[in-house]
Amino acid sequence: MKEFVFTKTDISELKLSKGHKKLVKYIAENYDKAAFMTASKLGEKVGLSESTVVRFAGILGFKGYPELQKELQRMVKSKLTAVQRMEVSDSLVADENAVIKLMNADIGLIRDTIENVSKDGFNSAVSAINNAKRIYILGARSSSVLARFMYFYLNPVFENVVLVETTSEGELFEQMFRIGEEDICIALSFPRYSNQTIKALRFAGDRGAKTVAITDSDESPIAKLADILLVAKSSIVSVVDSLVAPLSLINALVAAVTFSRREEAYNNFNELEHIWDEYQVYDM
């Protein structure tokens, strides 16, 4: 249990009431659900008042229950299985207001990302991308969607963008074996973190490439391997990963890079427009 909750205070040193001991037992046995319960709901499950749960958080050294809950969520979100995520989803969005709840949650993630993103890190990433000989982009599983989106919009601006396919670990290294000190590797990973991405980013760093991690926290396994860290908040409020905030951050990064090379980008897109017209790529 200590692994999941008691990071502020050593539980063994505390004199807990019978009610607080019941809370300890319930959270230890149901951490995946407890992490997403309100103080009122958690108290109801254990047969205690909301105020008792709030006092429990204070005894553990947290400023309040929201801080305890946030810590719990941070520590368990990379551990939840797909089945556990479904169970969490049932308790959170199983009503007629699901669409409002989920979309408001996404708004909150974007707001949190805006407030906490490193402007220096963002500017350093723009500069590193512009100065790289080759740009390697990689993301496995659900993060592969983010990687492909980034590749799609950087590829018309640069001649040297490589989208690393992560379907096979062996082939992953074959795609990256030329990476070197003049190159950059941009890795994207969100819970549950992919071992392929971790290994690939470590490989890029070992080869002397500049490394950029776009992930959900500075405790992410790829954050520790990166020269530049960009944090975008994600959520496991449902079985579907909420990647709205990471996508928004990537959108801003691509726009900033493109704007910094606007003359080259303009010429490239102008040529592409002629090609699209000639070969009727678009309907209109």
Task: For the chain of 284 residues, list the mean pLDDT of each consecutive stretch of 10.
Answer: 44 77 86 83 93 91 88 69 57 65 86 94 98 97 95 95 85 94 97 91 97 94 97 72 92 96 89 90 81
Q: Residue 16 CB: number of other CB atoms within 10 A?
A: 14
- CATH 3.40.50.10490 occupies which residues in the chain? 111-278
C-alpha to C-alpha distance for 120 and 69, rounded to whole angstroms? 30
**What was the pLDDT predicted at 96?**
60
**What was the pLDDT predicted at 73?**
75
| CATH assignment of 111-278, among 3.30.70.360, 1.10.10.10, 3.40.50.10490, 3.20.20.210 | 3.40.50.10490
**What was the pLDDT predicted at 31?**
76
**What was the pLDDT predicted at 3?**
43
Q: Is the pTM of this model over 0.85?
A: no
Three-state SS annotation for 201-235: HHHHHHCCCEEEEEECCCCCCCHHHCCEEEECCCE
**What was the pLDDT predicted at 130?**
96
**What was the pLDDT predicted at 1?**
37
Q: Residue 34 CB: number of other CB atoms within 10 A?
A: 23
**What was the pLDDT predicted at 83?**
55
- CATH 1.10.10.10 occupies which residues in the chain? 1-76
Regarding the domain delimited by 1-76, which CATH topology (the fold level of the hierarchy) does it fall under? Arc Repressor Mutant, subunit A (1.10.10)
